[in-house]
Structure formats: structure tokens, C-alpha cells
Copies of this chain bind each other. A is one copy, B any other.
Amino acid sequence: MESSRSDQIASLLEEQILTGRFAPGARLDEVSLAEEHQVSRTPIREALQRLLLSGLVEHAPRRGVFVRQASAIEIMEMFEVMAELEAACGRLAAMRSSEEAVERLRRVNAGCREALKNGDADAYYEENGAFHHFIYAQSGNRFLENEAARLHRRLKPYRRMQLHLRGRMQQSMDEHDGIVDAIAAGKAGAAAELLRSHVGVQGEKFHHLLQQLRLEKTG
């Protein structure tokens, strides 16, 4: 798996787009990429197709492929869907988690608390990701787990931005505790609701952040 050259290049390009190596709106030239990676255009085209399907780039026929410029509206929409998917995971996790699973969830959450205590935003980012992925897995639904992880990954660059907002880490942590308790108690509805607002607030924070950026730009 992942052995072919085009697969490797696809993963690499995806990473480069998500980390900003290619800015939104930038054109991905087949021949330049081919030269850069020392391959022919064929593997490059296959890699680009993969990115196309994942929605990271868009394709103008006979024009080329460009890094997708997700509008603020679109990003808010994605956060809204993320909130719903997480709510679904939480709901199912509350109904299906075993005692051991809850215990492990508490341990993962403890990792978040540790990072918060150290004021380490990067560590918190990592631990937070583990926390959410664990809940996806505990939904007991592999398909749901994959879909949630896929969108989570897609939102990566936008989620990272907001961790540096003042007080966000502490607030996030408080919400985590409530979520863990709800799942532990098997309260499906509560778990769903808490996760929905937990993620939903990220969307709103992002909106807030965007406005700030816009104000700084114009002001």
C-alpha cells in the first residue's frame, strides 16, 4: 500500500497544501511538479486527481488545477458538518463504550490536561486530536470513524489557527471533561449535545478570527 510513486506524491502534495507550502489559489503545474519530483507527468496527474477528489484542489478544464480557495462560508459549513459528525460519534460512543474504553478515554484526556498545564499549545493540539479520534473509534462504526477523521483532517489548518486565541485551551479542556462524563454515564443525548457545541464553537471562533484578520487588514 502506498507503494506507487503517484501515491507517495499525492500524500506529499496534500501535506504541502495543508501546511501552506502551496497557497490557496496557486496553480499546480504538471511539468514543474514532474521536474521537481523527477518523474514524468503521468504520476503527477494521478496524484492531482486524488487531491481533486478530496476537494483540496479544483480543476478548470484545459486550464489546470489550482489549490482550492475555500471561502469563509464554506469553512463554516464544514465546521457545522464536523459538529454533527462528532455529535453522532459521541452519541454512539456513549451507548457502546465499555468500562475499559472509558478509562482509556480518561487517560487520553489527562494528556490534554497535562499539555494545558504546561501551556504547550502544540502538545495540546496533538493530544486534542487523539482525544477526538478516540471518540470517533468508540462510535463502533468504522465508516463513521473514517468519515469523521477525513473531515477532521480537512479542517486541520483552520483548527490550528484558533488554538492561539486567548482562553481557548482552557475552555476546550472544560468541555472535554463534560464530554467524558457524559460518555461514561452513557448519556447519549448529552454527549452528542456537548460535542456539537464543542466543535460548533470552533466554527464560531474561526468566524471571529476571520473578522479580526479582516479588520486588521482594512483598519
CA distance A147 to B92 in the complex (A): 20
Mask, A132-169, CB within 8 Å of B = 1, is 00000000011110010000000000000000000000
On whether the beta carbons of A61 and B143 are closer than 8 Å, the reply is no
Whether, in the assembled complex, A50 has its beta carbon less than 8 Å from a beta carbon of chain B, the answer is yes
Whether, in the assembled complex, A1 has its beta carbon less than 8 Å from a beta carbon of chain B, the answer is yes
Whether, in the assembled complex, A108 has its beta carbon less than 8 Å from a beta carbon of chain B, the answer is no
Assuming A54-B53, A74-B142, is B61 touching A3 (CB within 8 A)? yes
Whether, in the assembled complex, A84 has its beta carbon less than 8 Å from a beta carbon of chain B, the answer is yes
> Which B-chain residue is minimally distant from A79 (CB atoms)?
B143
On whether the beta carbons of B78 and A143 are closer than 8 Å, the reply is yes
Mask, A80-95, CB within 8 Å of B = 1, is 1100110110001000
Q: What's the least CB distance linking A208 to chain B, in Å?
A: 19
Sample (6) of A-B pairs whose CB atoms are under 8 Å apart: A53-B53, A53-B54, A77-B142, A80-B92, A80-B141, A80-B144
List 6 A-B pairs, minimum CB-CB distance, nearest first: A53-B53, A84-B88, A77-B143, A77-B141, A81-B144, A49-B49
Binding site for B on A (CB under 8 A): 1, 3-4, 45-46, 49-50, 53-54, 61, 74, 77-78, 80-81, 84-85, 87-88, 92, 141-144, 147
